[in-house]
Structure 1
């Protein structure tokens, strides 16, 4: 069982919208896109926004031998009419489709990690041992657990629905927070949308997510917000990030790599 639902992986959502859009213009050519790999789509590494880029217009222009600007304008027009509330779509020469995701969609993905993760049960018997190669990930997981335990001792009761948004904008604006959010979304996308991942990918994901968490933990004080306006919301949102990170790391370590995910070191 996947840790997250395929319907809340952002790449899966965008892929579905692109399929619906392209089906309008390709039905007469008997061309369909049944597999997600058939539509070029990837998430950028920009910290300040959740941005996806697709080269599908470039691909179709070669197939149909037509002006790429026509395909791009049709895709942008269809997105603008049907999905403008949550996606900003533009074109970058020579025909790259840029799809910027709203904070509301990003927060839904983060919340899905927590909602689905809380329902998971251990499916393997973890033997308490540490991996030299992935110690950074095991340490990050243990740090997440200790922070969540500290929050309970400090009297912070995490709500079922994390207050990610403030006036429809992500309340966590620090670059380190944004970077961690991006890494979490990236892992969710790959877990849901890729069927041929190997152990090397899971190891790489564990390390990248752990490093993003370490930057977040060192640069963004969770408890230092107590004197700030809306301090409770900021603390709860940061703890939500910690919880999502812990759940993803546990899933990668124990379910995919069969390595012990310690609660303390």
Structure 2
């Protein structure tokens, strides 16, 4: 479940805890307003729910935010299914509720993507089924539409294959250790044929395989002072704007998958691919970084690994191939 979905569910439960008026009963977790806020160094989500409830509850938005934040605190302390990572809740006039992940929580969440698939796959070629024109088109027109859809998703497949190649290279050079379902590195010689045929093969329905996973270092040195477990203020090692842009685009992809149709999935997948390209151009891994700051190189490789896992999950959910080499 995406972070946004988890925050929406917690807000929904807090509303139900403090008020049972009809408008509260009409809300569902997915209809609780919540949007990611663009920031340079934090992952934040902001909700206008107090402004929405003010008229029906005959209370000021700030009064409602005070009640909701108190209920959220109680829920986090007593609920077995509360969000499993740390976050802070802030109130901002005229009645915004802001959720902010600490860097330690963000590191925990990124690390978790190596063991828990971001979202389940579905049978069939979901991309072509959902994006093709419906009704009246002849077979030729349908094939043309399907080819257009294949072209749309190809940049995502390309970035997935790039991630696999870089992880394999880093494994060969001893920066990290990578494993996959077959015990081979990403994109090894035995797998080159997966992407080697004609383009149509790239868009065949895939059988589920576990994505390649970084098994060393474990955890990835996401934090600048990872050895000090008592400091919640410890900062993420990834501070370059291109690193943050890739991280938030990955968050947005998970949010879109949770609450929209597959047309937006593809669009956001392309946004992730573009953010990855800028990240790779701007943030070095080899050379001086590898020699003088190995933890930073490993953290950047970890971000590549997360990108690979998320894009593979997206491609599987769309029902198309996730090639390991091109």
TM-score, normalised via structure 2 length: 0.67
Are 2:171 and 1:152 equivalent residues in the alignment? Answer: yes
Aligned to 1:232: 294
- The answer to whether the 8 A contact 1:254-1:260 is kept is yes
Alpha-carbon shift at residue 137 of structure 1 (Å): 1.4
1:211 to 248, 251, 274: 274
The alignment partner of 1:91 has SS state of strand
- The answer to whether the 8 A contact 1:47-1:178 is kept is yes
Alpha-carbon shift at residue 77 of structure 1 (Å): 4.6
Q: How does 1:101-250 map to 2 (within 5 A)?
A: 101-117=101-117, 131-156=150-175, 157=177, 158-167=216-225, 168-191=234-257, 193-194=258-259, 197-223=260-286, 224-228=288-292, 231-250=293-312
Aligned to 2:14: 21
Rounded to whole Å, the distance in 1 between the matches of 2:167 and 2:124 is 23
Change beyond 3 A, Cα 1:106–1:251: same
Rounded to whole Å, the distance in 1 between the matches of 2:289 and 2:54 is 51
Change beyond 3 A, Cα 1:242–1:122: farther
Rounded to whole Å, the distance in 1 between the matches of 2:23 and 2:250 is 37
The alignment partner of 1:61 has SS state of helix
Rounded to whole Å, the distance in 2 between the matches of 1:122 and 1:244 is 21
Rounded to whole Å, the distance in 2 between the matches of 1:29 and 1:47 is 39
Alpha-carbon shift at residue 116 of structure 1 (Å): 2.0
- The answer to whether the 8 A contact 2:256-2:264 is kept is no
Aligned to 2:200: none
Query: Does 67-76 or 32-41 show the bigger shift?
Result: 32-41
Alpha-carbon shift at residue 28 of structure 1 (Å): 7.0
Aligned to 2:230: none
Aligned to 1:261: 322
- The answer to whether the 8 A contact 1:72-1:97 is kept is yes
- The answer to whether the 8 A contact 1:57-1:95 is kept is yes
Rounded to whole Å, the distance in 1 between the matches of 2:249 and 2:88 is 21
Query: Does 169-178 or 83-92 show the bigger shift?
Result: 83-92
Alpha-carbon shift at residue 87 of structure 1 (Å): 2.8
- The answer to whether the 8 A contact 1:80-1:88 is kept is no
- The answer to whether the 8 A contact 2:37-2:45 is kept is yes
Rounded to whole Å, the distance in 2 between the matches of 1:80 and 1:202 is 33
Rounded to whole Å, the distance in 1 between the matches of 2:122 and 2:3 is 26
Q: Structure 1 regions of 5+ residues with no counterpart?
A: 1-5
Q: How does 1:2-17 map to 2 (within 5 A)?
A: 6=1, 9-17=2-10
Alpha-carbon shift at residue 83 of structure 1 (Å): 6.4
Alpha-carbon shift at residue 64 of structure 1 (Å): 0.9
Count of aligned residue pairs for this structure pair = 248
Are 2:28 and 1:35 equivalent residues in the alignment? Answer: yes
Q: What does the per-residue CA deviation read over 1:112-170, in whole Å, with 9 as the maximum and x for residues that have no partner?
A: 2211249x999779xxx993223321221111011001011111233242222233321
Aligned to 1:3: none
Query: Does 27-36 or 89-98 show the bigger shift?
Result: 27-36
